[in-house]
Amino acid sequence: MDVTRTLARFIVECKSEAIPLTVRKEARRSLLNWLGCAIGACRHETVSRALLALGEFSGPAQASVLGREERLDILHAALVNGMSSHVFDFDDTHLKTVIHPSGPVAAAILALAEHRPVTGAQLLQAFILGIEAECRVGIAVYPSHYDVGWHITGTAGVFGAAAACGRLLGLDEQRMTWALGLAATQAAGLREMFGTMCKPLHPGRAAQNGLVSALLAAHGFTSSNQAIEAKRGFAFVAAAERNLDAITRSLGDTWEVVLNTYKPYACGIVIHPAIDGCIQLRAAHALTAESIASIELDVHPLVLELTGKKTPQSGLEGKFSVYHSCAVAIVHGAAGEAQYSDACVRDPRVVALRERVHATVDPAMHEDQARIRIRLTDGRVLDRSIEHAVGSLARPMSDADLEAKFRGLVLEHLGAARTHALLDMVWRVETLVDAGTLARAAVPCVSPGTG
Amino acid sequence: MDVTRTLARFIVECKSEAIPLTVRKEARRSLLNWLGCAIGACRHETVSRALLALGEFSGPAQASVLGREERLDILHAALVNGMSSHVFDFDDTHLKTVIHPSGPVAAAILALAEHRPVTGAQLLQAFILGIEAECRVGIAVYPSHYDVGWHITGTAGVFGAAAACGRLLGLDEQRMTWALGLAATQAAGLREMFGTMCKPLHPGRAAQNGLVSALLAAHGFTSSNQAIEAKRGFAFVAAAERNLDAITRSLGDTWEVVLNTYKPYACGIVIHPAIDGCIQLRAAHALTAESIASIELDVHPLVLELTGKKTPQSGLEGKFSVYHSCAVAIVHGAAGEAQYSDACVRDPRVVALRERVHATVDPAMHEDQARIRIRLTDGRVLDRSIEHAVGSLARPMSDADLEAKFRGLVLEHLGAARTHALLDMVWRVETLVDAGTLARAAVPCVSPGTG
């Protein structure tokens, strides 16, 4: 079975009219959420240090750094924008695989679109097809690939970026097959990096390497034709178990992007049910931190595996602490970017409450569940079971929720007028004659000569 | 045990005078051999296609493309030169790990040295330390890492490039630790790519990604401090078995570069004993292809695993065919680059003889052994057992052999005068005030403004 070639053929041949309206709608929501995250983190030191380190090696000013004045060659723009969009860990999640699907794909095609004009409709199609490739490769190797320690957003993401860029470049079936092979042999990213600047590096590198893969393949740079399914191909080398059929089954009949979800909280998604429970109990009982003797959580095993940091020392580490997250949910009634600042993680009120949070694994729970038991100093015990967190497929964020999240991330960087204009432009992306205008509208002021 | 940090500390603190003369001598031999390979392949379509695909995204003209007129930013130069040096599969081999150690390290530091001046002595020290880091990481995960399908030159190479570049950038222990972490999380490359242009891509990407790792770390871009040894670090995620002690044991007392070997034949090293046997029998008995009824080989299992292509269709595939290689050894009495051209692989005389070559695995053999039995059409049977191939540690190429190989690869690209001057410059690299002159001497004519 030619898995890689079959996937390549689908990406090359899929007709735009074969993509249902509901799929395109969800893709626009994904794009909006992604763009907000990328702009929101544009001044973060992760982004600034990367620009300082690599800026002097950039080629011509071909593409925008979202939210900032700098312009870079498209390879560096893909890297920096993909990185920026994952810095807050606030981007989208494909729950089946825990891939953050938009970053690698959108960062790559948006940079490419500034250099090689395509329509907004073409951009959105490529985005959808890239996410499809990325998530199907991810599904094929999940969970063994993730369990052993690969950061699947990096490893699967590069396939999505290569596929989407290859689509925009008009690759034929053979060259698309090579592009996927080039992606396979650059797939990288370790979960050991969680809590460091290397985590957001992964989707950035995936975007950049996927773009490079498509460009090389376009120029006849050869690769394996069975890069995914061969004995020494990606699915065998990087995963103990695999289901290759998941890559090719029902291609064109089902669409992974409709299963995409968006986070109301700026931290690892596995903590969201516990945060929901705390925020709901706080609102229902007007709780203050001082009124609480202890918070006891029953959670899915991944919660402690991924976010078990008892004593986070920085904002970034706070995102990997279910203890800190529940503490801010009570103290602030929120878990946005502000709650994951260094200052907030060191706030004595938050630290004191964090130490009274206890978590126990319940292997019977699914990932979207949590039980929260709050013992008050007056002896009362409050209980809440969460079956589905806000932002899950069962309780999706509304368009209005997404717009509010976007404004919260973007306003300080673009100002009100440009924030509003950009938001409007994303909703009507399929009407854009030149998709590059989207990137150029996502910076503080219009760059000279780019209209 | 802090494996990553211990390795980082050694690379940072190692005194130049602690590196023995024999080590530096072997490093110069490695550098000469590497430079010849990189220049020799500079016009190959693998290099030309990469330049066509990526040239328009290059930054300032900071560094040389070895053997050619183009100049690129240092990141792209590291990529292209690392790729070029492995195109012919004619570069050096660290037999313990089958790593081709020079490519990732030398391509990265030579590009960096053109932009941030260092002395030739500093360059050679960084080269030695980079190879040390790369080979020790490789030894720690070999053979399980390689057996499952990772191209270890790519995956271990990025550590070497990061270490060597970090040394030239003067990183402190913490930043060197991060640089190794950045390398770990970009380690990639699949053996499935053997026989395609992606194989030489791997050392190129390793060079480029290692250089990026050091540059990011220099600017405070954080990474894990246990990137190699952590539960979800490189040695656990990418290998079923590992020996972490091999990374830190006797650091500074033993040097991997002295175990480096160089190829007399332009193909996979596992075929060399068989080629040796054929060339020796041809010389001893004045054999012609037409006089031979069949060639029977007994070989190590890796020979058929890596080079078992019965009917190669291109020069590149010929390098992965023990059958073709033995056929040209008889027909031409040689197995240089010329014997792996497309034309030679399709030559009817070679094809006809190739079909009479048969190989059998002997699991008792070591990798450097082969038995060759040639049945002649007149009924005679000739035998030869090879215990150690030319170019092995037991039968190393002499300095004169290496010079002859260098001239054979470089002459057509640089002409006699520049070839001779460059050769002389490599031998006295440690006397160079500016190591960048080495790169600038390795192009057809002096680029404007570079002296």
Asked if pLDDT for residue A450 goes beyond 60, the answer is no
Residue of chain A nearest B191, judged by CA positions: A232
Question: What is the average pLDDT across A96-113?
Answer: 98
Residue of chain A nearest B55, judged by CA positions: A59
**Residue A72 bridge partners (DSSP):** A63
**Cα separation, A380 vs A359, whole angstroms:** 19
Question: What is the average pLDDT across A81-91?
Answer: 96
Q: In what order do the strands lie in the sheet with B381-386?
A: B357-361, B292-299, B370-376, B381-386
> Minimal CA–CA distance to A111: which of A210, A188, A36, A27?
A210
Percentage of chain B beyond pLDDT 70 is 99
User: Exposure string (b/e) for B308-322, b if CB count within 10 Å is 16 or more?
Assistant: ebeebeebbbbbbbb
- Give just the sign of the alpha carbon dihedral B213, B214, B219, B225: positive
Convert the pLDDT of each residue in B310-345 to its tens digit.
999 999 899 999 999 999 999 999 898 889 999 999
Q: A192 vs B49: CB contact, 8 Å cut-off?
A: no
How many Cα atoms within 13 Å fall on the side-chain side of residue B423? 22
Chain A residues whose beta carbon lies within 8 Å of the beta carbon of residue B216: 49-50, 53-54, 201
Q: A221 vs B186: CB contact, 8 Å cut-off?
A: no
Q: A216 vs B49: CB contact, 8 Å cut-off?
A: yes
Asked if pLDDT for residue B451 goes beyond 60, the answer is no
- Average pLDDT in chain B: 96
**Which element (helix H / strand E) includes B77?**
helix B74-87
Closest to B53 (Cβ–Cβ): which among A56, A218, A224? A218
Indicate if ipTM > 0.85.
yes
- Average pLDDT in chain A: 96
Closest to B224 (Cβ–Cβ): which among A192, A215, A237? A192
User: Using an 8 Å Cβ cutoff, are B196 and B150 in contact?
Assistant: no
Residue of chain A nearest B185, judged by CA positions: A189
**Cα separation, A145 vs A153, whole angstroms:** 11
Chain B residues whose beta carbon lies within 8 Å of the beta carbon of residue A75: 54, 57
Convert the pLDDT of each residue in B19-45 to its tens digit.
999 999 999 999 999 999 999 999 999
User: Exposure string (b/e) for A399-416, b if CB count within 10 Å is 16 or more?
Assistant: eeebbebbbebbeebbee
Percentage of chain A beyond pLDDT 70 is 99
Please report which confidence band the pLDDT of residue B450 belongs to, taking 50, 70 and 90 as the band edges.
Answer: very low
Output the DSSP codes for A358-415.
Answer: EEEE-TTS-TT-EEEEEEETTS-EEEEEESS-TTSSSSPPPHHHHHHHHHHHHHHHHH
Convert the pLDDT of each residue in B320-329 to its tens digit.
999 999 999 9
Alpha-carbon dihedral angle through residues A197, A202, A204, A206, given to the nearest 10 degrees = 170
Q: Which two tokens stand for residue A344?
A: 């907030």
Chain B residues whose beta carbon lies within 8 Å of the beta carbon of residue A159: none
Chain A residues whose beta carbon lies within 8 Å of the beta carbon of residue B50: 216, 219, 221
**Cα separation, A10 vs A256, whole angstroms:** 14
Asked if pLDDT for residue B358 goes beyond 60, the answer is yes
Closest Cα in chain B, distance from residue A24 (Å):
31
Other CB atoms within a 10 A radius of the CB of residue B22 amount to 11
A71 DSSP assignment: E
> Can you list the domains of chain A with their CATH numbers?
3-262+398-440 (1.10.4100.10), 269-386 (3.30.1330.120)
Convert the pLDDT of each residue in A3-18 to its tens digit.
999 999 999 999 999 9
Q: What is the CA radius of gyration of chain A?
A: 21
Convert the pLDDT of each residue in A159-181 to its tens digit.
999 999 999 999 999 999 999 99
Question: What is the average pLDDT across A68-95?
Answer: 96
Chain A residues whose beta carbon lies within 8 Å of the beta carbon of residue B192: 181, 184-185, 224, 226-227, 230-234, 237
Specify the pLDDT at position A446: 57
Q: Which of B171, B185, B205, B316 to mutate: most A Cβ within 10 Å?
A: B185
> Minimal CA–CA distance to A267: which of A229, A305, A217, A321?
A321
Specify the pLDDT at position B195: 87
Specify the pLDDT at position B446: 57
Closest to A190 (Cβ–Cβ): which among B49, B74, B185? B185
Q: Where are the alpha helices (DSSP H) in B259-339?
A: 272-285, 301-307, 315-318, 322-331
User: Using an 8 Å Cβ cutoff, are B322 and B359 in contact?
Assistant: yes
Closest Cα in chain A, distance from residue B104 (Å):
15
Q: Which of A48, A185, A211, A215 to mutate: most B Cβ within 10 Å?
A: A185
Question: What is the average pLDDT across A271-296?
Answer: 96
User: Exposure string (b/e) for B396-415, b if CB count within 10 Å is 16 or more?
Assistant: bbeeeebbebbbebbeebbe
Asked if pLDDT for residue A125 goes beyond 60, the answer is yes
Chain A residues whose beta carbon lies within 8 Å of the beta carbon of residue B227: 190, 192-193
